[in-house]
Structure 1
Amino acid sequence: MTWTESVWQRIDPLYKKIIHLPFNQELLKGSLPREKFKFYLAQDAYYLGEFGKALSTISGRLSDLDHVLAFSNFASGAIVVERALHEGYFQTLGLPHEVKPSPTCLLYTNFLLNQAAYANVEKAVAAVLPCFWIYKEVGDYIYAAQTQSEMNPYQNWIDTYAGEDFARSVHKAIQITDQLAEKLSPEGQEDMFEAFEMASKLEWMFWESAYRLEKWGV
């Protein structure tokens, strides 16, 4: 069993909670209130910009040139998606171009940036993996569970994360993480899991906070 296979088993109960969150269940049905989706997209755009910075930082710390190139491409891909959100959804939904991060979004992005800069690189890679992997699994789950009788107003989002291009990136990220984990001791692999688990928890918090339209309490 690979490292990623073993850690997915360990966070599977959390993943099941994520797919059964009201946000994702209503997104699946197309009944998610527009305001909640708008809030989520604005926070996601902010997140993707910071995520791209974290990926770029990790790219510069990796030693294998294939890994360097992959993470450089991941970083540019995150920025491209962020730009596409601004040019597409931001205009059609009337979202402001200056996004202030919610408490959860700021917590999540600061965690990733900290891991990318200061943790050992294997742990940093493990920290960014849930954003790839959990999003892909959620996208696949929603796509497979949809009824095709009515057009979902959020179909474009669903298609993005259930698409083949994103799947290739996820597969590459998983492959690299396993290659790095193979070289570590059991203790080092457990350190990687701690980062992977924390990021998975923050993924749950991100969707849950979007459904609540989370605000700063001041």
Structure 2
Amino acid sequence: MSCSAVVTSVYPKDGLRVPKVMCIGAQDLVCHAKSLDADAITSRNLGCVTHSIITDVHVNQQESIQFSAPLSSLPHSCDHLSIDSVKIGLMNDVESVNQVHNFLCSMKENGCPIIIDLMNERWTDKVLQSMIDSILPLSSVLIASYTIAHHIVTSGQQSIEGTARCLLESGPRVVIVQDENGRRCMAMIDNEALLTKRCFWLPNHGSPSKSEDFSIAIAAYLAHGHIPLDFAILYGHLYTTVDALLRSSFLHIPSLTFTQELWSSVDDIYTRTIELPFLKEMLHSTLDERIYNYYIAQDYLFLLDRGRMLKGLVDRCSNEEVHRFFSTLLDKNDKYVTTILSDNNLPPYDEKTTAKMPACANYTKFMLTPVTCNDDFAWVRGLVTLLPCTLVYAKVGDWMIASGVQPTVKRYADIIDYYRDQARRDRLIYFLELTNRVVHDFSFEQRNKLKQLFRQVCEYEYAFWDESYRYGTQKVRN
């Protein structure tokens, strides 16, 4: 499903999700443009997220390090991963091919398109033959250099058109063979009976400057689900052959924002979060209010440290807009921390004598890390560290509102009403847009580190609710 309809809203909008491409193959440290990281960048530019399975790492022209663990962890089914297309690149051993074959067989009923990329000249004969025998029959699209394609076809000298037609007999619906000049010849089946095999050359806009992006671009277009196979191939071809400034005339798919990437990377944590007893019982007014009081006390301790973090970020931030944002958050935090206990009819707590549950202690320790660093971008990490507390709560609020349940306990009902407030949603949208602006020019590696940080904080958010329930229940029983 295309994400274009929700790109300007708080993402992901209920009922919609980002398309996901699984990329399987080698991580090439020799040529970054051929690596899975490069695939992830192209996928993001075309509105998709990437689930990467690394088979091995090329450290130089002669040496590869095999990664067996990621392949052995391939799921028996792609259902829970919500994979929308698969792109397979270079692999270095037959065992990896066999494991990938077993996984792909489990996806037959899913109808997930599979794109095979044989453009890399480092394929060995043994592994290539294994690909032809086991994976090629499962594929939707095969992309190959003429050298490799001609090597596969053993029926004597063939033209590039004849080679492409012959490869259709191996199983794929479409075969694209690229010659040494970068021109692409496409053969495709008009029906499953192979009665008609059309063959033609794709439009030539000069030598394709980014041949390594061709297969992942096709996979990304197909992942959206509404683009026909022949159009996805044409769009992918144009993506690699025309200037970036001209792409907007035919792409029609907005790239993912950074915060969309962040949220899509934690959908599993969010799914676990809304299954927590604390939240479900609060929604249905069955949560013991003494457990909720314990949660409020822990939240009070959390907010004290959050204030210290914000004070440190205000002192360190070099970005004028973000500095104002931190200052606003600090003012709101200071006001909230003075009323949270009295608003819940709780007595004052002494921070020195009130024990933090482990989740609170670990969360606040992690949260304060950016203000203890001396590097210039500590405030950026601080910004991303603060985001889950706002975004996850908002999404939980959306889930509660969508349930249609109205708690009978006033304190619990007030929470849902709080998240109906448009002003709060506008503040969240500003937070998301600010984060996107801050990281706009960040490298892929810098973004990845921030994504890892965001995921860790989301785990702390989950643990905070989980332990509030478990420790609060234990406290009530004692």
Higher relative contact order (CA 8 A, sep 6+): 1
Q: TM-score, normalised by structure 2?
A: 0.42
Which residues of 2 match residues 197-216 of structure 1 at below 5 A? 197-213=455-471
Structure 2 counterpart of 1:104, which letter? A
**Residue 374 of structure 2 is aligned to residue 110 of structure 1:** no
CA drift of 1:162 comes to 4.1
Contact 1:42/1:95, CA 8 A, preserved across alignment: no
Q: Is 1:168–2:426 an aligned residue pair?
A: yes
Name the counterpart of 1:46.
Answer: 301
One-letter amino acid matched to 1:115? P
Give the whole-Å Cα distance in 1 for the aligned partners of 2:342 and 2:290: 19
Matched-pair identity in %: 25
> How many correspondences in the alignment?
212
Amino acid at match of 2:393: Y
Q: TM-score, normalised by structure 1?
A: 0.88
Question: Any unmatched runs of 5+ in structure 2?
Answer: 1-255
Q: For 1:107, give the aligned amino acid.
A: N
Q: CA deviation at 1:95?
A: 4.2
- TM-aligned CA distance change 1:166 to 1:79, over 3 Å: farther
Residue 172 of structure 1: CA displacement? Answer: 2.2
Which of 265, 286, 311 aligns to 1:31? It is 286
Q: Does the 8 A contact of 2:316 with 2:379 survive in 1?
A: yes
Distance across 2 between alignment mates of 1:85 and 1:76: 14
Q: Hey, what's the Cα distance between the residues in 1 that align with 2:431 and 2:408?
A: 32
- Give 3-state SS (helix, strand or coil) of 2:368's partner: helix
Give the 4+ runs in structure 1 shifted more than 4 A.
none
Instruction: Please say if 1:97 is aligned against 2:349.
Output: yes
Taking only aligned residues, the RMSD between alpha carbons, in angstroms, comes to 2.1
Alignment of 1:130-145 (within 5 A): 130-145=388-403
Query: Which protein has the bigger helix share?
Result: 1
Hey, what does 1:121 align to over in structure 2?
379
Partner AA of 1:125 in structure 2? L
CA distance in 1, matches of 2:348, 2:319: 40
* Distance (Å, rounded) in 1 between the aligned partners of 2:302 and 2:425: 20
Q: Which of 14, 22, 36 in structure 1 is aligned with 2:277?
A: 22
Contact map agreement 2:296 2:341 (CA 8 A) in 1: no
In the alignment, residue 159 of structure 1 is paired with which amino acid? D
Partners in 1 of 2:298 and 2:401 — Cα distance? Answer: 23
> What's the offset of the Cα at 1:161?
4.0
| Displacement after TM superposition at 1:202 (Å) | 0.2
Greater Cα shift, 168-177 or 199-208: 168-177
Q: d(CA) in 1 for partners of 2:456 and 2:268? A: 14
Q: Quick check: 1:69 aligned with 2:324? A: yes
| Larger Rg computed on CA atoms | 2
Structure 2 residue matching 1:24: 3-state secondary structure: helix
1:131–1:116 Cα change, 3 Å: farther
Query: Within 5 Å, which residues of 2 pair with 1:148-187?
Result: 148=406, 151-153=408-410, 154-187=412-445
Q: Deviations over 1:91-143 (max 9, x none)?
A: x2x44422432111011011001124327322221111101110111122113
- Please state how far the C-alpha of 1:194 moved relative to its aligned partner: 1.4
Task: Tell me the SS of whatever aligns to 1:183.
Answer: coil
Shift of 1:54: 1.3
Q: Partners in 2 of 1:52 and 1:167 — Cα distance? A: 22
Q: Which residue of 1 is the match for residue 36 of structure 2? A: none
Partner Cα distance (1:213, 1:146) in 2: 29
Distance of 2:429 and 2:310 partners within structure 1: 16
- Residue 265 of structure 2 aligns with which residue? 10
Compare the two structures and name the one with the higher strand fraction: 2
* Residue aligning to 1:87: 342
